[in-house]
Amino acid sequence: MTQPISTPDPQPVSTTVTRSAIFIVATVNEDAASRATVRAWCADVANLARAVGKRVPSGNLSCVVGFSSDAWDRLFGDPRPAELHPFREFGSGERVAAATPGDLLLHIRADQTDLCFELATQLMNRLEGAVTTVDEVHGFRNFDMRAMIGFVDGTENPTGNDAEHFTVIGADEDPGFAGGSYVLVQKYLHDMKGWNALTVEAQERIIGRTKLQDIELDADVKPSCSHSSLTTLTDANGDEVKIVRDNMPFGRPGSGEFGTYFIGYARSPAPIEQMLENMFVGKPPGNYDRLLDFSRAVTGSLFFVPSQPLLEALAEREPSLAGAVDASIDSQPSFEPAAALSADGSLAIGSLKGAPRHE
């Protein structure tokens, strides 16, 4: 009897929901010494997380590390993850899912802010002089899992084995990168004055769920432009395609800043990109997510999350001359033809390989 091929242990992409998080996006400096520092650092991440976590064993401390397409080429070269590419922009005018700089993602989670802070400090100390932080957000869990806009967030997240199924690359999909995941991050800023000026009923129609009870609106009431409608996907067999979200509210009330840090994990970037196209372009085009009238995406990056064993092994890997990208040349995104929904409106997961920016 043939034994199933085992999948390497993934990083903690679908770990326990926590009260606090720190998101750090950084660029890797162009010199060879900086690249060598980042590669060596890959072997330290798990050890540092364990060391800090032992101070509060019940604190559920974890860290996920991801690399962008350009960073992978410069740091590690070939082979590369099959679906790793630069962040793809969607939309036009004031409603754009824009790409912003970012080579390295740190997603640090714990039930205590001090644990997140200490681990972030230790990790960034090891990277001093090798990277430049371009974005840092400290998130908090808002009351009963509610987003900044007052609705429960992450209701449809898969759990347990389902979470692993939707987020972790199988051994038969991309063998050299089994156990890995893709993660897409965006920082949204909200017009809270405008949002709070709406009636609860108007807010519910925009989201597609009731605000207090967190119940999905009936199909004959829920608008096709609601956030829920546009971010619900099905595959060619009619089965729902899910991602794992671990969004966090953040803000600075004294500065009038109120936001949501979106972070979505999946075993392919295709479903998350399809959601963004539905939201920012519309399904059909023009029938866009009305939440974007009150929420503006100000960052956008896509990263590959290697399995835990691969992350540690990357410390010893250097790009070959044939596989490396010259760091002195600015790499430009190359877009493949847009993926289309099938005739029944479903998403052909597995065949969706590209989606350019749609105007």
Give the residue numbers annotated as catalytic, written as ranges. 153
Would you say 13 and 102 are in contact if contact means Cβ atoms under 8 Å apart?
no
User: Apex CA 163: angle with CA 355 and CA 153, to 5°?
Assistant: 75
Q: Which ranges of the chain would DSSP assign to H, the alpha helix?
A: 32-41, 45-53, 69-75, 113-126, 160-167, 192-196, 200-207, 227-230, 270-280, 308-313
**Under 8 Å between Cβ of 82 and 174:** yes
Q: Counting every residue, how long is the chain?
A: 359
Count of Cβ atoms closer than 10 Å to residue 62 Cβ: 22
Q: Which residues contact 42 (CB under 8 A, 6 or more apart)?
A: 65, 311, 312, 314, 315
Confirm if 339 and 355 have CB atoms less than 8 A apart.
yes
Radius of gyration of the chain (CA): 20
Sequence-distant (6+) residues with CB within 8 A of 50 are none
Q: Work out the number of other CB atoms within 10 angstroms of the CB of residue 252.
A: 9
Q: Are 96 and 359 in contact (CB under 8 A)?
A: no
The half-sphere exposure of 339 on its side-chain side, counting CA atoms within 13 A, is 23
In sequence order, the β-bridge partners of residue 303 are 183
Residue 315's identity, in one-letter code, is A
121-124 long-range contacts (CB < 8 A, ≥24 apart) are 122/48, 122/51, 122/52, 123/41, 123/44, 123/45, 123/48, 123/63, 124/24
